[in-house]
Chain A
Amino acid sequence: MANKPIVDFEALKNNLSNVSKPIQVLNEKAEITDQEVFDSFSDDDLVEFMKKMVWERALHEQTMNFSRQGRMGFYAPTEGEEASEMGTVLAMKKNDYLLPAYRDVPQLIQHGATVTQAYLWSRGHVAGNKFEARSMMPQIIIGAAYDEAAGVAMGLKKNGEDAIAFTYTGDGGTSQGDSYEGMNFAGAFKVPALFIVQNNGFAISTPRAKQTSAPTLAQKAVAAGIPSIQVDGMDILACYAVAKAAREYITAGNGPVMIETLTYRFGAHSSAGDDPKRYRTKAEEQPWFDKDPLIRLRKVLEDKGLWSEEQEDKLVDEYKASFKEAIKEADAVPEDKVSDMLKRTFEIPTPEMKKEIAKFEAKESK
């Protein structure tokens, strides 16, 4: 018998890297790499995409200022992830159910919450959890929204709704058991769920390469029997087109889909004070800054004569003025009280809680 090993594990491992190229419509030089998809968008569509990204960038900048002025609670910066976030959420319908994580506040607002509610949520105010949108409040537990999405999608299926549950996590979230459990459940029950991984390169300070040996994060869906694909997360046209196609596939009764968007967090993980300079270099950052999703679409629009700097500046001013109004509205909402928080915990308070409620009410009435 020949000395051939029964299994060539090395070859199996190498095979894992045989993945298709990330989907792209516009490259970073603003060259069209998929004419057919590009042509499916009208000029108005393109301008609308640009406006949404400018809005999200302005929201980030103003919110960051509010944070530095001590007017916010927790805030997770979104600069750099505009294409990934706006592209995917714009492909959804209003009756779809959003399960956001903490960096997905722009999508939540896009889906129907107000900026004021988002600011109240950041401050931990209960009024920030009440919105018209079909959505949960942003999930703080990493990866947990994937489990929620599986459950909500199960409900949508049982109710026979023509809607999907869509959810987000980051590259770090895919290292959590929750994300696999959610996908596995969704795959097993063929529920209408769209799982989006915004791979922004870092789980706070841990680079993507140190989190997993998997060549792509999209592959993590394979074990759950879910089709998945990588998308250029700095290309809003690609993000939108893929999310839209995924939604169509899901609503046709085919079960869940997973999308990995390749994006980058331009700033810190959160306003809680991490300094990106400590875990990445300028040389690593610059190529990603050059891929800024706003730059490439702006160039396309300017070439078409659909966009100008003045137009953008004016929009930014308008948007920022609206955010300043929103925070004033949030300031005007009476502060949450401990007694109210306790009263909300159980429908019928326990005897201990009754005592606590009485204690805090006495304090608060002083």
Chain B
Amino acid sequence: MAYKFKLPELGEGMAEGEIASWLVKEGDTVKEDDSLVEIQNDKSVEELPSPVAGTVKQIVAQEGDTVEIGDTLIVIDDGSPDTGDDDQPAKDDKEAEKSDSDKTTESASKEEATAGPATGSADAHYLAMPSVRQYARDKGVDLAKVTPSGKHGQITKADVDSFDGSAAPQAATQSAAPAAPASTNTITPYKSATPELETREKMSMTRKAIAKAMLNSKHTAPHVTSFDDVEVSALMANRKKYKAIAADKGIHLTFLPYIVKALVAVMKEYPELNASIDDSTEEIVYKHYYNVGIATNTEHGLYVPNVKNVDSKGMFEIAKEITENSQAAYDNKLSMDKMSGGSITISNVGSIGGGWFTPVINYPEVAILGVGKIAKEPYVDEDGNIQVGNMLKLSLSYDHRLIDGALAQNALNLLKKLLHDPDMLLMEG
């Protein structure tokens, strides 16, 4: 008895569109070619005309919904005889296939749409990319109230950000609840052909936080990693010499305090390494303190406590604090203070045999030093003789927005100089 109008392919490669606004409501009489709905895809907004004449029986997809090609948008009673429409069961099957979470999303977005005129009134006509619409929904901002600044009256993400929420407080509170499930809409689920050979477990809070931090760093800072190595026989001798003395004081002296000290000298020479970028003001923030973080791997996740003001601390003191911080991380007793306000981070995989790698910057810092193992390798010394060298592998990742490749290499060169000759460290550190 009814014609189901399904979303046609409106552009090459188009897989889905968003219902920008309905131009008809249930009960309306429509003629053939009357405009029914505005669909937004990534390329443009298109008005879809009705292929049949009749009465609008049901609006299936609501404003703001993302619909796929072939999804029924609207049911129009066009008086055609019931031909045992094979769409009905097909649609039910599809409904049944949807997971519980999908249903929550669906009902949530329906609630949102029917919540009242505050969200998406029927005559709302505005231009915005689907990603911006999604962003606005997540933030609970009604796009109809946002002043566009983009080309041809497009609402940009920045417009949503700068939207004065006080102008429409209801909108914000009303859609706050459904916003969370709605945001899962665009995430592609992991599908497996052999789920029986896999197990699933919920991500822990820490794992989620790590994932988020890594993603944010990689998305924000264009990473470049420079690899190098340095001959550290003298450094090894020095450590060997003082290791016992440290032990007498109950201090475990590793190579890390040396590297921390060397980094202080490097940061003093190259203050760009001890900086952050404030994207909101497009300013470079130079730090006049030296807090060096040590990435610490524990059973319950990765932490980066930093040793504060290392420039005013002695080698033993630094060694002691590194050990304390690491213990606090294992015991899950790190304070937030210990993990914020860092200058630069050291990630050490050498202790477990790692070599070169590409560490991810501990954003908003702008550099991270990856420390690898010390390997015995042929090495040509200053006099041109081949020796068995103790080669320490270094990987310096840096935010290329702020730090140029030459600067990074110069910084690495200084670091190498200091680690090659620990007496220099005494002078510069």
- Where the two chains meet, the residues of A that have a C-beta atom closer than 8 Å to any C-beta of B are 62, 65, 67-71, 268, 271-275, 277-278, 324
B residues at A contact (CB < 8 Å): 5-12, 14, 32-33, 41, 43-44, 46-51, 151-152
Assess the A70–B12 pair: CB atoms within 8 A: no
What is the chain A residue whose CB lies nearest that of B51? A69
Q: Which residues of A contact B51 (CB under 8 A)?
A: 69, 71
A69 to B14 alpha-carbon distance, docked (Å) = 15
Report the Cα distance A324→B33, complex, angstroms: 11
Chain B contacts of A277 at CB under 8 A? 44, 151-152
- Per DSSP, are chain B's interface residues mostly helix, strand or loop, or mixed? loop
> What's the minimum C-beta distance from A112 to chain B, rounded to whole angstroms?
28
Contact A70 B6 (CB under 8 A): yes
Take A68-B46, A69-B49 as given contacts and tell me if A273 and B14 are in contact as well, using a CB distance cutoff of 8 Å.
Answer: yes
Residues of the B chain whose Cβ atoms lie less than 8 Å from the Cβ of A62: 33
Closest residue of chain A to B127, judged by CB?
A: A277
Within the complex, what minimum Cβ distance (angstroms) separates A148 from chain B?
25
State whether B48 touches A275 (Cβ < 8 A): no
* A-B contacts, CB under 8 A, total: 44
Contact A273 B11 (CB under 8 A): yes
Asked if A68 contacts B10 (CB within 8 A), the reply is: yes
| Known A273-B14, A277-B152; contact A69-B44, beta-carbon cutoff 8 A | no
Q: Establish whether residues B12 and A68, one from each chain, have CB atoms under 8 Å apart when the complex forms.
A: no
A237 to chain B, nearest CB (A): 32
What residues of chain B lie closer than 8 Å to A272, measured between beta carbons?
11-12
Q: Are A68 and B47 in contact (CB under 8 A)?
A: yes
B44 touches A68 (CB 8 A): no
Chain B: minimal CB distance from A106 (Å): 20
Are B43 and A273 closer than 8 Å at their CB atoms?
yes
| A68-B10, A70-B9 known; A275-B47 Cβ under 8 A | no
* 7 pairs of residues in contact across A and B, judged by CB atoms under 8 Å: A62-B33, A65-B49, A69-B5, A268-B44, A274-B44, A277-B152, A278-B152
Complex CA–CA separation, A67 to B39 (angstroms): 14
CA–CA, A275 and B42, complex, Å: 10
Tell me the smallest distance from the CB of A204 to a CB of chain B, in Å.
Answer: 12
* A275 and B6 form a contact (CB under 8 A): no
Given contacts A65-B33, A68-B10, contact A274 B49 (CB under 8 A): no
Contact in complex: A68, B43 (CB < 8 Å): no
Q: Taking A271-B10, A273-B11 as given, write out 7 further A-B residue pairs in contact, using a Cβ cutoff of 8 Å, ordered by the A residue number.
A: A69-B5, A69-B8, A69-B48, A272-B11, A273-B14, A273-B43, A277-B152
Residues of B within 8 A of A70 (CB): 6-9
Kindly name the residue among A69, A271, A278 whose own CB sees the greatest number of chain B CB atoms within 10 A. Answer: A69
Q: How far is the CA of A228 from the CA of B47 in the complex (A)?
A: 41
Which of chain B's residues have a CB closer than 8 A to the CB of A67? 8
Smallest beta-carbon distance B54→chain A, Å: 14
5 nearest interchain CB pairs?
A273-B11, A70-B8, A275-B44, A69-B51, A272-B12
Report B111 CB to chain A, min CB distance, Å.
30
- For B48, the chain A residues whose CB sits under 8 A away are 68-69
Q: How far does the alpha carbon of A271 sit from the alpha carbon of B44 in the complex, in Å?
A: 11
Residues of B near A324 (CB, < 8 A) are 32
Q: Which of A68, A268, A278 makes the CB contact (< 8 A) with B49? A: A68
Nearest CB of B to A282, in Å = 8
Q: Whose C-beta in chain A lies nearest to the C-beta of B43?
A: A273
Please, how many angstroms separate the alpha-carbon atoms of A191 and B338 in the complex? 86
A68 to B10, CA, bound (A): 7
Pair A273/B49 contact, Cβ less than 8 Å = no
Q: Tell me the nearest residue of chain A to B154, going by C-beta.
A: A277
Establish whether residues A68 and B8, one from each chain, have CB atoms under 8 Å apart when the complex forms.
yes
CA distance A190 to B46 in the complex (A): 48
A277 to B6, CA, bound (A): 26
